[in-house]
Amino acid sequence: MPFFVNPKTKKRKFQAKDQKSLGKKKGLKNQKALSEEVESDSDVDSSNEATETRGKFYSSDEDEEETPQQKRLRLAKEYLSQLENEEAENIEDEDAVKQAVSSRLQHDISEQAGKLTKEVADTCSCPRPQDLRVFRGHSLPVTAVVITPDDKFVFTASKDCNICKWDVQSGLKVKTIKGGRKGTEDVHIGHTDHILCLAISSDGNFLAAGDMNNMVKLWNPHDCSFIHKFRGHRGPVTGVSFRKGTHTLFSCSTDKAVKVWSVDELAYVETLYGHNSPITCIDSLNRDRAITSGGSDRSIHIWKIPEDSQLLFYGHEGSIECVALINEGNFFSGSEDSSLCLWSVLKKKPLVTRQHAHGTPAGQNSEDWISAVAALQYSDLVASGSKDGLVRLWKCGPNFKSLSPLFEVPVNGFVNSLSFSSNGDFLVVGVGQEHRLGRWWRLKDAKNGWVIIPLKGLDQSSDDSGASESSEEGSDDDSGNSD
């Protein structure tokens, strides 16, 4: 026998051929069995109907020959004719119809691109003290507040390591994610050090919280159950933000780094470097970008994730404490020099600067620095807060080239966090005796809690019962996780 012939291989080949032949025989038997089956009338009718439908579908030569570009052109013409017909019903002049169609097209383009600015600032009215709803429930200063996308619940975080879920309509505490003692991180599910920031995904399925233990913890907002913890930062996590419409999470820290996380995969993605000082705040919108304020390096960075690049902005004279995106092209920032700035992503310097927005004209020595800012996204309404215990509402002018004050609301305490409801009907404020990042001052007269400031639909005939103060309602029985 030749040396290159392996009898085992030869045997396997024959076995494979036998298996193939057996498979062919079985297939022939199955085909014979199928051919012997008698078709019912319903099967024949259904097959005939399907054939006719296919014939009708493919009978049009225009559909077969139409290219994607021609299809887009045809749909555009149909949409234009529809707009013209709608406007012609109300307007007789042809020139007026063309102008109305043009304005509607610009409106639709801006809305789809996320650049539409809703003018809501003029519809807001200053509430009276009895219109405010004040809530207690944390033993230490409230550091962060977020509102669920449906505006039904509010989550608050505090230096007492607890996260509380509140019902907006009833004002009752629904759940409590209880914190633990420092050093019990491996045993306790909840946070064991000061919680500094909160963020909720745009679909309301994930709640992220950053703390002094250098961790980002992920929670289920519906039942307040624990999902996952992200480790990687080398300093306290000062800000978290979900990219709108996705489950991509951005976090920033005093370690001068920005980290990107995939919540769907519960995995780390990448780290972004560029700041020269601890990062104080982060925000994001629809685009795959994040904006951060760099604290004492007095810089604001916009991180372009896909391009692996960043934009730098300078304009404040002091440490930048907070930043908020108004839309994809404009943002709002506050500094310890008590100034507010309105920016465009196309310019390195601010479009508008309001010096001494809170406090006296004491420059960098002013104690009333801006501690929190918020923007009602895609609108002309923004808010700021400071140690002076005032929440001030501002209106952005046309093309964001002006910033004018609307009114102010006293809340008594450090304004550590601000959050607008999605429809702009109310503003939620986190208040404490201390600043969220430190204990430079302590306001003994202030009380730790959070406040709902109504902005629209105020009933001026209401009495003092409009103000409410909640304590430890729904405490132990409704608490979420415990030791």
| pLDDT mean for each 10 residues of the chain (483 residues) | 41 42 45 41 43 42 65 79 74 72 66 65 92 94 96 96 96 93 82 95 96 95 96 95 96 96 96 94 94 90 93 92 94 92 94 86 60 94 92 94 94 94 95 86 88 78 43 41 37
Domain containing 185 — which CATH number?
2.130.10.10
Asked, for residue 451, whether it belongs to a domain, the answer is yes
**Does the CA dihedral 292-294-299-301 come out positive or negative?**
negative
Return the bridge partners of 262, or none: 248, 267
The predicted pLDDT at position 75 comes to 79
Asked, for residue 196, whether it belongs to a domain, the answer is yes
Question: Burial letters for 24-63: b for 16+ Cβ neighbours within 10 Å, e otherwise?
Answer: eeeeeeeeeeeeeeeeeeeeeeeeeeeeeeeeeeeeeeee
Instruction: Give the number of other CB atoms < 10 A from CB of residue 479.
Output: 16
Q: What backbone phi and psi angles, to 5 degrees, belong to 304?
A: -90, 100
Q: How far is the CA of 269 from the CAs of 4, 236, 258, 406, in angstroms? A: 53, 19, 11, 42
What is the domain extent for residue 132? 123-470
Asked, for residue 113, whether it belongs to a domain, the answer is no
Expressed in percent and rounded to 5, the helix, strand and coil fractions of the chain are 20, 35, 45
Asked, for residue 118, whether it belongs to a domain, the answer is no
In the DSSP assignment, the letter for residue 39 is P
Asked, for residue 28, whether it belongs to a domain, the answer is no
> In whole angstroms, how large is the CA radius of gyration of the chain?
31
Q: How far is the CA of 259 from the CAs of 152, 191, 230, 385, 465, in angstroms? A: 30, 20, 10, 27, 46
Asked, for residue 141, whether it belongs to a domain, the answer is yes
Asked, for residue 16, whether it belongs to a domain, the answer is no
The predicted pLDDT at position 262 comes to 96
Instruction: Give the number of other CB atoms < 10 A from CB of residue 390.
Output: 18
In the DSSP assignment, the letter for residue 479 is B
Q: What is the pTM of this model?
A: 0.74
Q: If DSSP codes are grouped into helix, strand and coil, which group holds residue 75? A: helix
The predicted pLDDT at position 67 comes to 82
Place of tokens 């972004």: 272
Structure tokens at 434: 């201390």
Dump the DSSP string for 420-441. E-TTSSEEEEEEESS-TT--S-
Asked, for residue 63, whether it belongs to a domain, the answer is no
Dump the DSSP string for 203-252. TS--EEEEETTSEEEEE-TTT--EEEEEE--SS-EEEEEEPTTS-EEEEE
CB contact at 8 A, 233 and 214: yes
Structure tokens at 334: 């506050």
Q: What backbone phi and psi angles, to 5 degrees, belong to 455?
A: -115, -20
Q: Give 111-116 contacts, CB < 8 A, sequence gap 24+.
A: 113/328, 114/285, 114/286, 114/327, 114/328, 114/378, 115/327, 115/328, 115/329, 115/378, 116/378
Distance CA 81, CA 71 (A): 15
The predicted pLDDT at position 469 comes to 52
The predicted pLDDT at position 273 comes to 94
The predicted pLDDT at position 62 comes to 44
The predicted pLDDT at position 116 comes to 56
Distance CA 292, CA 301 (A): 5
Domains of the chain: total: 1
CA 453 vs. chain centroid, Å, equals 21
List, edge to edge, every strand of the sheet that includes 320-325.
320-325, 330-335, 340-344, 352-354
Q: What angle do CA 189, 202, 467 make, to 5 degrees?
A: 80
Distance CA 481, CA 216 (A): 17
Return the bridge partners of 370, or none: 386
